[in-house]
Each structure stands twice: as C-alpha cells, then as structure tokens.
C-alpha cells in the first residue's frame, strides 16, 4: 500500500502528467492512422525517451501504447479500416453503426469500453504481478532457462500464415543474439573484428528498422491507392440507460482481454475476436450483431485495452514479452537500466508502482481525451500517407542515431528496415526475430549456467518440477497452433 501511495506521488507531478498526456495523444493519433500500428508508434517514440528519467520515459511509451490501441478503433468505426489489427473486430459493428449515422455514439461506446477495460486490467495487474514476481524469485538457472524456452515457444502463435517462416524468423533472431561476446566464456562470436559488433547487435535500432522503417517502405508502395474521404460525425449521444446495458459486456470483455493478455503470444486481435464472440453468445439479440450492435463495439474495445494490462504481467514479472509492443517496451526498460523480471519488484519497487498508477491515469486520460476530442481525432484521417512516410523515415534515422550518437546504429536500423520490408513482403513475420534477440541471451546463459550447476548432467532439466512444467508448457504452446490450425483457418496475424 505504501508503494502505491509512493506511486501516486510519482505520477501526480505536472511534468509527468503532461508527458503522459502527450503520449496518449500521440498514441491515439498514430493508432488512428491506418498502417501505423501501436508497435510502430512505440518504436518511433522510443528514442525520445533516452534522455528522460526512467519513469517519465516509460510512461510516455505506455501512453503511446495504450493510446494507439484505443486509437485503432477510430478508423475501424469511421472508414471500416482498423487502424491496428486489434481493432479488426470493432470494425464489424462499429462501421455498421456509422453507416446508420451513429458514428459518434459508436466512438463514445468505444472510448468508454476501452477505458474501463484498460482500468480493469491494470487493477488485475496490480494484484497479480507482485505475487507472480515473489514466486518467480525462487527461479534459478534451470527455471529461467525453461522460462526463456517458453517465451520463445510463443513464436508459433505469432507466426502468422506460415509456421515454418515464423520459426525461421525466430531462429534468425536467436542467431543474431549470439553475435558479440559469449555470455559465459567471454569469447567474441561472429564479430568479424568489428568493435561495434563485440557488444552485440543493439536491439533498439533493429526494432526501429523492423517495425517502423519497413512499414514506411511498405506504405510508399501503397500511396497510390489512397481514397478520398468525407467523414461526417453527427452528435448522437450515448444514453445512461444504454450504458447500463453495456456495462456487463464491458466488464466481461475486459476480463477476457486481461486474461488473454497474460498469455504470451496471444495479442489484442485474438482477445478482441474472442470477446466479440462471447458477447454475441451471451446476447439475446444475436441477429443484431454485424448490423450495428453496440455490444459488438464495446466487447472488442474493452478486450483489446484489457490486453494492455494483462500483457504487462509476464513482461514485468518474468521479463517475457508477449508480443511485439511489449518487446519494444522491454527494450525501452532495459535502455533505462531497468531489467524486467522477478528482481524488478525487489530492486525497483517504487518505479514499478509509479508505472502502475501511471497506467491507471493513462486509461482515465483516454476516457477524457476520447470523450472531448473525438471530433478532432477524426480529422487525422485526412492526413495523407504521402506526407507521413518521409517524416517517419527521418525519425527512424534520427532515433537510431540518438541512441548513442553512433552511426553504426543507423546502419543497423537501415539494414533491419530493408530486410524487414522483404521479410514481411514474403510472409516472414518480424516479431519472432525480436523475441529471439531478446530471449536468446537469457536462454543460452541460463542453459549453460544450469549445466555448470549440474556438472554437465542434463538431468537438471527433468528433475526440477517448475522447470519440467515450464518446458511442457513450452512444448504445448509450440504445437498448439498446429492443432487448432487443423480445425479452422487462422483469421488473425500476430502483429499488433
């Protein structure tokens, strides 16, 4: 409780609140532009945080992340183009409502649901995360190795269309992670006598390249398909009685989202579709879904914002990023000298609780900014991609450079961006590469440390209960998409 109070005082400072608000606004703007994802937004803004205090910097990114997840719904509702994959489900009934002239009401429902879903998930986070961290404190090398294997096994669920290509991407990431000084023996691997390579490939420029530059290159190719938009948002208010009908759906969907968010690999898109289906199943008016049912907007929006808090749980307590956005956030935390994992709660308790409070405030800000600024944000849609793409590319270069005033990072960013474009184009997902780079060193060092502990015996991995459970979980996670794929074709991609 003391820590929560400390968190309150940490957040309620004018500059922190202002930066958080800026993050939210930037996030909503990015999220509502089709083609700019939450991941891209966080990767683009990340370099800005290098010079900031850890808490302020991370809260800025959290604002962008939360804002972008919410912002994605604006385009989904208005022009039937989800701004981010996680609002694909919102488009179904949201756009149907817009066609009936109820766009303003749909946006209000989305705002309220997003905020409540988000707040609910942060509350769950505040209660569960410390417990999980305390449990994880008992982890020694074999457990941490198994945890890293589990984290990597989610590659199969974020692989997208082709499992083989997803796994290839993952192993490319793992191989990239071995570049630099070997974690146990200190021998330089694959450095080709280049000084810049001896400390390994820096994660941040790779992320900026893969998630922002490659997207910008892709956008260049589709600028000639832009269409003229005329958006009229009439003010049809959401009534209190209508809200009371929705609240059950919102809370249920928020809980679904939080739970799915906790599972690494299952992102906002999946949560939104699951919540949408559940809302439909619970509803008396099943036929109304798809034709402009308010619950069809409330459910996916509460769920995809619920994911945000849920996804923070494995990230902060175990150091395992569940998807691309949390991977970028993990990179941001590490740049600030904050190593997510069980020790985080011991070493940086005040920071963690300040982040928690900040997340609650972020969701409140979404509510306020959303309710009062909707009409303004709809104007963003009029900004043409032709203007945005060059600016994004410049920001990628400056961002990579400002990491350490090092030109080598710019080259890494550029190569990652170009490679990322071709990988994406030919069906190789980008997120597994990042996952591999992040978790590779954790996996390898703990694997070898465990073998030192056991004096070379592999029994250490099958005699310790937590290790065994985690390894079994990893195998199940790795192969589960193969089984579900047989039943139905995947409808969603892993990026968010």
Partner 1 sequence: MKKPNYISGLIIIIIAGFFYSLTFNFPKLENQLIGAEFMPRVYSVMLIILGSILLIQTFRNKEESDEQENTMKYSIGAMLFVILYVVVIPYIGFYISTFLLVLGLLLFSKVKNKILLITIPVGTSLFIFVFFQILLKVSIPMGTLFS
**Site residues (CB under 8 A) for partner 1?**
48, 50-51, 164-165, 167-168, 171-172, 174-175, 178, 182, 184-185, 187, 189-190, 213, 216-218, 220-224, 386-387, 389-391, 393-394, 397-398, 401-402, 405, 407, 410-411, 414, 417-418, 421, 425-428, 440, 443-444, 447-448, 451, 456
Per the CB < 8 A criterion, the answer to whether 216 and 90 are in contact is no
Residue 336's contacts (CB-CB under 8 Å, 6 or more residues apart) are 49, 54, 57, 58
**Would you say the C-alpha torsion 58, 443, 139, 260 has a positive or negative sign?**
positive
The torsion angle over the Cα atoms of residues 342, 348, 349 and 355, rounded to 10 degrees, is: -100
How many Å separate Cα 303 from the centre of its chain? 14
Q: What angle do CA 175, 177, 179 make, to 5 degrees?
A: 85
Q: What's the closest the beta carbon of residue 378 comes to partner 1, in angstroms?
A: 21
In the bound state with partner 1, the residue whose beta carbon lies nearer, of 42 and 238, is 42
Query: Residue 27 or residue 314: which is nearer to partner 1 going by CB?
Result: 27
Q: For the CB of residue 217, give the shortest distance to partner 1 in the complex, in Å.
A: 5
Q: How far is CA 30 from the centre of its chain?
A: 14
How far, in Å, CA of 205 to CA of 431, rounded? 14
Q: Which is nearer to partner 1, 123 or 172 (CB)?
A: 172
| CB 287, min distance to partner 1, A | 33
**Closer residue to partner 1 (CB): 273 or 421:** 421
Q: Which of 96, 100, 110, 97 is nearest to 246 (CA)?
A: 110
Residue 292 vs 399, nearer CB to partner 1: 399
Considering the complex, what minimum distance in angstroms separates the CB of residue 368 from partner 1? 25
> Shortest gap between Cβ of 386 and partner 1 (angstroms)?
4
Distance between CA atoms of 410 and 274, rounded to whole angstroms? 40
Q: How far is the CB of 305 from partner 1 (least distance, A)?
A: 29
Please report how close the Cβ of residue 256 comes to partner 1 at its closest, in angstroms: 33
8 Å CB contact between 269 and 492: yes
Residue 393 CB, shortest distance to partner 1, in Å, is 6
Distance CA(496)–CA(87), nearest Å, equals: 10
Half-sphere exposure (CA, 13 Å, Cβ side) for 37?
Answer: 29
Question: Is the Cβ of residue 196 or residue 283 nearer to partner 1 in the bound state?
Answer: 196
Provide the CA 409 distance to its chain's centre, in angstroms.
23
Tokens representing 424?
């994406």
Which of 47/370 has CB closer to partner 1?
47
Q: What is the nearest approach in angstroms of partner 1 to the Cβ of residue 360?
A: 28
d(CA 274, CA 270): 6
8 A C-beta contact, residue 81 and residue 37: no
Shortest distance in whole angstroms from residue 452 CB to partner 1: 9
Residues contacting residue 14 through CB under 8 Å, at least 6 positions apart = none
User: Residue 222: which residues within 8 A CB-CB, separation 6 or more?
Assistant: 35, 385
Give the residue with the Cβ less far from partner 1, 207 or 443.
443
| Residue number, 189 or 291, with CB nearest to partner 1 | 189
């Amino acid at each position: 409780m003391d820590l929560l109070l400390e968190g309150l005082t940490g957040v309620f400072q004018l500059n922190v609140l202002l930066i958080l608000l800026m993050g939210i606004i930037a996030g909503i703007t990015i999220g509502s532009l089709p083609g700019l994802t939450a991941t891209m937004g966080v990767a683009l803004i990340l370099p800005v945080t290098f010079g900031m205090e850890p808490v302020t910097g991370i809260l800025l990114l959290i604002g962008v992340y939360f804002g972008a997840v919410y912002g994605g719904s604006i385009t989904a509702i208005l022009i039937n183009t989800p701004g981010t994959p996680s609002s694909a489900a919102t488009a179904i009934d949201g756009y149907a409502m817009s066609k009936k002239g109820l766009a303003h009401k749909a946006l209000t429902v989305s705002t309220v649901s997003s905020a409540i879903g988000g707040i609910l998930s942060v509350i769950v986070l505040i209660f569960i995360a410390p417990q999980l961290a305390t449990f994880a404190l008992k982890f020694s090398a074999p457990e941490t190795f198994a945890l890293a294997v589990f984290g990597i096994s989610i590659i199969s669920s974020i692989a997208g269309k082709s499992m083989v290509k997803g796994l290839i991407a993952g192993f490319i990431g793992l191989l990239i992670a071995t570049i630099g000084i070997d974690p146990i023996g200190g021998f330089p691997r694959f450095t080709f006598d280049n000084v810049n390579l001896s400390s390994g490939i820096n994660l941040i420029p790779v992320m900026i390249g893969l998630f922002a530059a490659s997207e910008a290159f892709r956008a260049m190719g589709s600028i000639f398909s832009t269409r003229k938009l005329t958006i009229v948002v009439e003010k049809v208010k959401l009534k209190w009685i209508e809200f009371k009908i929705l609240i059950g759906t919102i809370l249920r969907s928020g809980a679904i989202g939080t739970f799915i968010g906790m599972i690494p690999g299952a992102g906002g898109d999946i949560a939104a579709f699951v919540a949408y289906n559940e809302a439909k199943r619970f509803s008396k008016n099943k036929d109304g879904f798809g034709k402009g049912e308010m619950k069809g907007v409330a459910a996916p929006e509460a769920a995809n914002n619920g994911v945000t808090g849920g996804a923070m749980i494995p990230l902060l307590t175990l150091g395992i990023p569940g998807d691309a956005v949390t991977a970028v956030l993990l990179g941001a935390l590490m740049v600030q000298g904050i190593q997510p994992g069980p020790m985080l709660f011991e070493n940086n308790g005040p920071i963690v609780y300040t982040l928690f409070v900040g997340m609650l405030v972020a969701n409140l800000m979404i509510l306020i900014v959303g309710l009062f600024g909707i009409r303004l944000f709809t104007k963003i849609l009029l900004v043409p991609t032709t203007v945005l793409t060059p600016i994004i590319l410049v920001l990628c270069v400056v961002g990579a450079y400002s990491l350490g005033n090092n030109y080598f990072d710019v080259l890494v960013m550029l190569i990652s961006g170009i490679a990322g474009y071709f990988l994406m184009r030919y069906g190789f997902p980008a997120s597994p590469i990042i996952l591999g780079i992040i978790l590779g060193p954790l996996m390898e060092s703990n694997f070898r440390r465990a073998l030192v502990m056991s004096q070379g015996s592999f029994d250490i991995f099958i005699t310790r209960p937590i290790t065994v459970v985690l390894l079994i979980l990893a195998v199940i996670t790795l192969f589960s998409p193969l089984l579900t794929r047989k039943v139905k074709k995947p409808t969603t991609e892993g990026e968010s």
